[in-house]
Amino acid sequence: MSIKVDHFLRRQLPGRCVFCLGITDRERPWCKDCFVALPWNLPACPRCAEPLPGRPEARLCGRCLRHPPSFECSRVPLRYEQEVARLVQRFKFEASPRAGAVLLALLEAGLPETALAWPEALVPVPLHPRRARERGFDQGEWLARRLARRLELPLVRAQRRRDTPTQRGLDRDERRRNLSGAFVIEAALPQRVVLVDDVMTTGATLGSLAVACLAAGAGEVEAWAIARTPLQES
């Protein structure tokens, strides 16, 4: 796993574990014990990153076998549980830069070097401008901008054509219909593109954005997020 943290993160993260306040070195915002104890998303479906507890290995889930998403694979190292969920909530709803910095460091730590070297451009999942104004910032843009700088990659911004209703309480098919045609990308994209978001629930938002990326010239699209919400069977 990559454990590199850029200069911005080192300035934001003093030598105390963000989870237990124990002593740690300045290159990592966590201690070894807390890092190991985090809710790692293993095993998980390689296509949509749905957690697959009790499985001996990662295999495609039934949903992806029946209806594969528009992106080739998902890289979501953690589950949206416990300390990770609390960090995301502080980042998203309290605009905590420290929480965001830790989440970005965890994303890098959870991805192999080969994955970090794969993309030719990053595309953040955009909030509608009205929602970004209400919240005070766009969390996907915040993460992707810093990751693009870290990986020395171009950042390409998508536009949300309409302010879609909230996804909360919708099942997978309802989310997909809600987001159909929601995004457009005017710039021409390179072949290998990564979508960036903080949390992945069903993958409907990322799937809709992947369709827009393919229409803009991308040949392969991956979806990256920090945490995956386990699906509830209906």
**Residue-range definition of the domain harbouring residue 137:** 44-228
Handedness of CA 165, 135, 194, 116 (dihedral sign): negative
pLDDT (tens digit per residue) in 177-212: 555 567 999 999 999 999 999 999 989 899 999 999
In a domain, 116, yes or no: yes
The residue among 159 and 168 whose pLDDT is bigger is 159
53: tokens are 């507890």
pLDDT (tens digit per residue) in 24-45: 866 788 999 999 999 999 999 9
In a domain, 8, yes or no: no
For residue 211, what pLDDT is reported?
A: 95
For residue 11, what pLDDT is reported?
A: 52
32 near 41, Cβ under 8 Å? Answer: no
For residue 179, what pLDDT is reported?
A: 56
Residue 158: C-alpha distances to residues 81, 133, 153, 155 (Å): 29, 17, 16, 10
For residue 232, what pLDDT is reported?
A: 60
In a domain, 156, yes or no: yes
For 193: left if phi > 0, alpha if psi spans -120 to 50, otherwise beta; the answer is beta
In a domain, 217, yes or no: yes
Of the given ranges (2-6, 67-71, 107-111, 204-208), which has the lowest mean pLDDT? 2-6
The residue among 217 and 159 whose pLDDT is bigger is 217
In a domain, 168, yes or no: yes
- The domain that contains 168 carries what CATH number? 3.40.50
196: tokens are 């960036």
In a domain, 7, yes or no: no
The residue type found at 101 is A
pTM (2 d.p.) = 0.85
Mean pLDDT of 100-126: 96
What's the 3-state SS for 167-230?
Answer: CCCCCHHHHHHHHCCCEECCCCCCCEEEEEEEEECCCHHHHHHHHHHHHCCCCEEEEEEEEECC
Task: Name which of 170, 178, 184, 180 is nearest 213 in CA terms.
Answer: 184
In a domain, 111, yes or no: yes
Q: How many domains does the chain have?
A: 1
**DSSP three-state, residue 75:** strand
Strands 183-184 and 159-160, how do they pair?
antiparallel
For residue 111, what pLDDT is reported?
A: 97
Does the pLDDT at position 6 exceed 80?
Answer: no
For residue 182, what pLDDT is reported?
A: 79
The residue type found at 87 is L
In a domain, 205, yes or no: yes
